[in-house]
Amino acid sequence: MKIVDYIVIFTDQALKAQWKKEIANNHKVDPILIVQDNSQSFIENSQTLIEQGKWDDAIQLCDQGIKKYQNNMNLYKNKATALREKGLLKQAIDIWDEGILKNDWNMEFYNEKDIC
């Protein structure tokens, strides 16, 4: 099972209760990705996966985020970063093209593609 399969939606209270339980029982905390219903969670969690070298998981998470938040440039940026880290440069550029098609009014997408 991939880490993305462990995506769980928690309220803040449930999250705090889960961590307290794990700490109290001295359990090793499994890699659970907490994704609340906002784009920032997708962005932060995909960045964490990229930092851990889990590029495939980061790409999958970005894909999920892009489906919900197609106007969020940072999701495209994280996906492009993960693709680039995997050595998939053409796909990294292609994701910017996809973002531009959906957000042709937003100059930031053009600028980020240029940087890529």
- List, for residues 55-104, the tens digit of each pLDDT value: 999 999 999 999 999 999 999 999 999 999 999 999 999 999 999 999 98
CA 49, 53, 54, 56 torsion-angle sign: positive
Q: What is the pLDDT of residue 67?
A: 94
pLDDT tens sequence across 2-44: 444 444 333 344 555 554 555 445 544 444 444 445 788 899 9
Residue 3, CA distances (Å) to 31, 69, 75 in order: 7, 21, 18
Residue of higher predicted confidence among 116 and 96: 96
Domain ranges of the chain: 3-115
Q: What is the pLDDT of residue 33?
A: 44
Q: Contact 21/50 with Cβ under 8 angstroms?
A: no
Rounded-to-10 torsion of CA 33, 34, 38, 43? -40
Q: What is the pLDDT of residue 37?
A: 53
Give this prediction's pTM: 0.67
Burial of 34 (0-12, 13-18, 19+ CB in 10 A): middle
Residue of higher predicted confidence among 111 and 87: 87
Region 3-115: CATH code? 1.25.40.10
Measured between alpha carbons, how far is 55 from 82 in angstroms, rounded to an integer? 5
pLDDT at 112 over 90: no
Q: What 8-state DSSP symbol labels residue 28?
A: P
Q: What 8-state DSSP symbol labels residue 109?
A: H
Q: What is the pLDDT of residue 84?
A: 96
